[in-house]
A and B are shown apart, each in its own frame.
Chain A
Amino acid sequence: MPDKSIKDTRIELFGNIMDNPVIPASGTFGFGYEFNDWYDVSILGSIALKGTTLEARYGNPLPRIAECPAGMINAIGLQNPGAEAVRDVELKKLKKVYPKKVIANVGGHSFDEYVKTAAILDSADNVFCIELNVSCPNVKGGGMAFGLDAGILEELTAAVKSAVTKPVVVKLSPNVTDITVTAKAAERGGADGLSLINTLVGMRLDLKTARPIISVKRGGYSGPGVFPVALNAVYNVREAVSVPIIGMGGVTCAENVIEMMYAGACAVMVGTQNLIDPFACKKIIEDLTKVMEKLGIDRLSDIIGRAHNA
């Protein structure tokens, strides 16, 4: 008889066995190693790296942040040191404190840039999959533009797939009428998995000047306010495709992780909450076994998609 008091939080993603399904989301955790000043990051299931482009990018002018009820808007604009620096400098620094495999996040302005960037990050030995950011609302003439049109998305996914050896996860935008349409397009293009949702386009105005607070007017809204939207998207996409789903959007606690997994996610990313509480992922991981105990769950992988059979 297996010992029922030991809760099994492990999950498998593309053959990579993770100690738990908790992954800090891209853009909320830098390149990971700096969080080791707060806690031992090696407890994390995996880490999704800051969105990376071929060349270094400064991103958008300041202000890039606006507060909202139950969340925030950001318009960073993919600030990053460029793909080669990420592979040769950032990933090496991360490896010293995080021996497990990580997820590289790839952004771009053209097919060519996505393909080249993905190929560079594909060659890093501690990267186990490539997350394709086709849903960043903060990059002009790129980013989200590639993720809203099903035809373009399918083609881009196929182009990147043909240039890399590792599994490709397409990160989907919620800024569409029906997210299952783009989900199916990515699957047709050869995506090995999907991650969803990226941020929702939003705006805040300054009461005194009547001008947008964000320098580029609008940005991506994230935080606990989007959790129900994200959960619904994961639920719907689970019914539309068969590839693994990484769920994210407004996750703040272990209970949210369970809900995401019920809806069909096999791993869960935690984003904005890392910015509010640097210990967020650590707390969620620690709470996870307690919540499993309370709900009578022995093996976390058993609950993936449970909502669809309940």
Chain B
Amino acid sequence: MKKATLTVISNTALTRDVFEMRLAGAERPLPGSFLEIGLDGFFLKRPFGAAGYKGGILTVYYRVVGAGTEAMSALTEGSELEALTSLGNGFSAEGVTRPLIVSGGLGIAPLKYLADCFAEKGIRPVFVAGFKSASEVILKEELEKICTLAVATDDGSTGFYGNAVEYLKRNPVSFDRYFACGPEPMLKGMQRFSGNGQLSLEARMGCGFGACMGCSIKTVSGFKRVCKEGPVFDAGEVIFDAR
């Protein structure tokens, strides 16, 4: 956990409403950890998964969903942002040699960084990336270089017709641990699919570092904070219906 002033290096639209922002000034994050970015005129900072780190530049991906991310999309190169970096835990990839990575929508962000980290170790994961439709697909070329990639779309406009979990049921993959991030229904689906993996959760947060209890969930081992004990949890641990 660190307080830092980050500088926008680039801020580019990848689709109609998804942006890639590259930031200088952050320490190297653990894959699976996140940062909180402050925006002028907005009281709370916004949490974003660390989606890449190369040459001291940290990457995040975000969707414009409200006034805050709208303002964020207008930031230009050189803008300075107050941030809290290296928050939360991270994926446990120790000893994993045949990783399966599964994303839904923008859940791809922290998993892209995890895939980079596997690539550094010479491990090529199987990556199943689900999107709503072809127009939403991002990071395809980048991931194809370092992963065995399968794209699935809800409307079948490209790749497999269906979501990522359905893809896995039809196309069995051999893996020693999976790593998943995406909307809650998809994570529930992954939990039913196999207990041998880790889920990265999302939540509305107050502080992002464990103080406000705004993002607590129920788990089989008691209450845990998405921002502090998470955002990554063992798949068998999360009690979804209690949220």
Contact = CB atoms under 8 A, between A and B. Distances in A.
Interface of A: 27-30, 34-35, 37-38, 50, 58-59, 61-72, 74, 76, 79, 213, 223, 274-279
A62 B215 contact: yes
Interface string B34-45: 000000001111
A65 B36 CA distance: 15
A30 B210 contact: yes
A79 B223 CA distance: 9
B190 interface: no
Of the four ranges (under 10, 10 to 19, 20 to 34, 35 or more), the interface on chain B belongs to 20 to 34
Q: Which of B42, B43, B203 has the most CB of A within 10 A?
A: B43
Interface in B41-93: 42-45, 68, 84
B207 A275 contact: yes
A70 B210 CA distance: 21
Contacts of B45: 276
A7 to B, nearest CB: 27
B206 A65 contact: yes
In terms of DSSP, what is the predominant structure of the interface of chain B?
A: loop
A222 to B, nearest CB: 10
Contacts of B4: none
A38 B1 CA distance: 8
A79 B213 contact: yes
14 contacts: A27-B213, A28-B212, A38-B209, A62-B203, A63-B204, A64-B204, A65-B206, A67-B42, A69-B43, A76-B212, A275-B212, A276-B43, A276-B45, A278-B1
B90 to A, nearest CB: 16
Given A34-B211, A38-B1, A72 B243 contact: no
Contacts of A58: 216, 218, 223, 242
B192 interface: no
Nearest to B41: A69
Residue of B3, B212, B216, B228 contacting most chain A CB atoms (<10 Å): B212
Contacts of B214: 62-65, 74, 76
B211 A71 contact: no
A30 B212 CA distance: 7
Contacts of A59: 213, 216
A76 B213 contact: yes
B205 A65 contact: yes
Contact of A37 (B1, B213, B216, B242): B1
A103 B215 CA distance: 25
B220 to A, nearest CB: 13
B216 A79 contact: yes
